[in-house]
Amino acid sequence: MKQLLEGKIAMVTGGGAGMGACDCRTFAREGAAGIVIVDLNESDARAVAEEIMAEYPACRCVPVRCNVSVEADVDRCFQVLEQEFGTLDILVNNAGVTNKIPFDEMTLEHWNFTYGVNITGAFLFAQRALRIMKAKGYGRIINMASIAGHVGGLTSGVDYATTKGAMLTLTKSVAKQGAAFGVTCNSVAPGNIKTAMEKVFGSDWDPMAVPMHRLGEPEDIADVVLFLASDMSRYMTGCCLNVNGGLFMQ
């Protein structure tokens, strides 16, 4: 049976842990030929790359240490991509940071840090990816937003929530840039998903508040990212898919 991502080349930011690592495993399972695994934590990215290549030898994974908010680091990722694969089909802007700092205590430093990783990073990667994808007439860009981008920050900081609202608008704007060139750009807005980030929200979160009575698993998100990365979603662009067990419905 044909796999959904047969022969595709992907780049996943924040691919060393949590949902990003799960996206990488899912892409390899579905026949991706290469994945650039971008992460601030080089040893995590390397461990995910080795684990995937042991299980799926047909998928070559290249880990790259990168702070997504630093332009020179981002450029280096694209140099590695060019050297190793020479093309790009799928970008997942997944790297993100959060906090629980009360609004009144939030400093400009906190604010700029969160914006640097969550939004500036996504802009830098999307801009470079779009150049490659427009030239080849094909591409899929998937941005990780959040339920907080729709409803505002409460369990997360206001900085976090507003970056995720901006992610929805970045998605629509990039979608308009790419639409006539075969490049789609969509976002996924998860509810609370069991990763290291979710632990930041801590015990003040009751899974019974979710209509499905459970937190999400990284696989619940990765399957939706897979749909957006594949040709199954070919006539969708600028959309946001809410994946939250019914916590927020639009």
The smaller minimum CB distance to ligand NAD, of residues 24 and 32, is found at 24
Q: Is 222 in the site for ligand NAD (CB under 6 A)?
A: no
Distance CA(126)–CA(52), nearest Å, equals: 25
User: SS3 of 210, please?
Assistant: coil
- Residue of 6, 7, 41, 205 that binds ligand NAD (CB under 6 A): 41
Which residue stretches of 158-248 are H helix? 158-178, 196-201, 218-229
8, 16, 61, 226: which one contacts ligand NAD (CB under 6 A)? 16
Q: In the complex with ligand NAD, which residue's Cβ is closer, 137 or 207?
A: 207
Residue (14 or 34) nearer to ligand NAD, CB: 14
User: In the range 149-188, which residues lie near ligand NAD by CB under 6 A?
Assistant: none
Within 10 angstroms of residue 76's Cβ, the number of other Cβ atoms is 15
Burial of 107 (0-12, 13-18, 19+ CB in 10 A): exposed
Restricted to residues 102-141, the positions that interact with ligand NAD (CB under 6 A) are: 117
115 tagged catalytic? no
Is-contact 195 217, C-beta < 8 A? no
If one asks whether residue 40 binds ligand NAD (CB under 6 A), the answer comes out as: yes
Q: Which of 26, 114, 195, 230 binds ligand NAD (CB under 6 A)?
A: 195
24: left (phi over 0), alpha (psi -120 to 50) or beta: alpha
Q: Which residue numbers are catalytic?
A: 160
